[in-house]
Amino acid sequence: MTKTVKNKILHQLNFLKTIGYNYHETVTISNFDVNGNSLPNNLNELNLIMENCYLCELSKSRRNVLCGQGNPNAQIMFIADEPTASEDELKSFFVGKTGETLAKMIENVLLLKKEDVFITTLTKCKSLDSITPACFNSCNSYLYKQIDIIKPKLIVLLGEKTYQYLCNDTSSSFLKIRGQMTKFNEYDVLPTHSVSYLLRNPSSKKEAFHDMLKIKSILELN
């Protein structure tokens, strides 16, 4: 819209107002600063806020918001970097080839139902290309609140990008840190390969299998 057109519209609106037309009251839009202290300690209420979030550019291209899925009292929490295309389309985790493969890993190695775990992502919306630190920074308070509500015994980070963002570590070699226990705040964390990486690199499935066995042994110690 050109400046000339805008001026004509404003002129017409002002004219209508002078002859008696009334418009709605001025709407004041405040800046909403999302932080852990302002977010509810209830997953359903938190999900409602996430589903109506427009803090970053991903809100312009997403089909759906994927808050998280699974047992709110889960001992184990899986975190990926972002929803897959299938997850974005169907608004559900454990769909598409990546999701179905992860479900089989959980059920066949951990001997758990996928409903027993909780899964979520760094960003709650699918990107058109790849997520940026700015997008994660807009979304991280949601993730931190999810972790604090669920209080998992173990957090499994799926992929290098997820580990780098959550643990703020871009200097360590992921090949060395993968499968090793570390910490995020007071929570135990174990990074492993993302499922999409495994599908592209089948030779790494053996490493992921050993990671899952390690996860299983940790859960059995409870």
Distance of alpha carbon 142 from the chain centroid: 8
pLDDT tens column, 134-154: 888 889 999 999 999 999 999
Half-sphere exposure of 22 (CA within 13 A, CB side): 2
Lowest mean pLDDT among 9-23, 72-86, 113-127, 140-154: 9-23
Q: Give the pLDDT of residue 60.
A: 84
Read off the pLDDT band of 218 (50, 70, 90): very high
Percentage of the chain modeled with pLDDT above 70: 83
Whether 26 shows a pLDDT value over 80: the answer reads: no
pLDDT tens column, 157-171: 999 999 999 999 999
Q: Give the pLDDT of residue 10.
A: 54
Whether 127 shows a pLDDT value over 60: the answer reads: yes
Whether 35 shows a pLDDT value over 50: the answer reads: yes
Any alpha helices (H) in 19-132, and if so which ranges? 43-51, 85-90, 96-108
DSSP reduced 3-state for 79? strand
Looking at every residue in the chain, the average pLDDT score rounds to: 87
Q: Which domains does the chain have, with CATH numbers?
A: 40-220 (3.40.470.10)
- Fill in the DSSP letter of residue 85: H
Whether 195 shows a pLDDT value over 70: the answer reads: yes
Q: Give the pLDDT of residue 95.
A: 96
Sheet harboring 182-184: ordered strands across?
Answer: 69-70, 118-121, 76-80, 154-158, 187-192, 182-184
Residue among 114, 123, 140, 116 nearest 64 (CA): 123
Residue among 72, 70, 66 nearest 53 (CA): 66
User: What's the mean pLDDT in 122-145?
Assistant: 89
DSSP reduced 3-state for 73? coil
Q: Give the pLDDT of residue 29.
A: 32
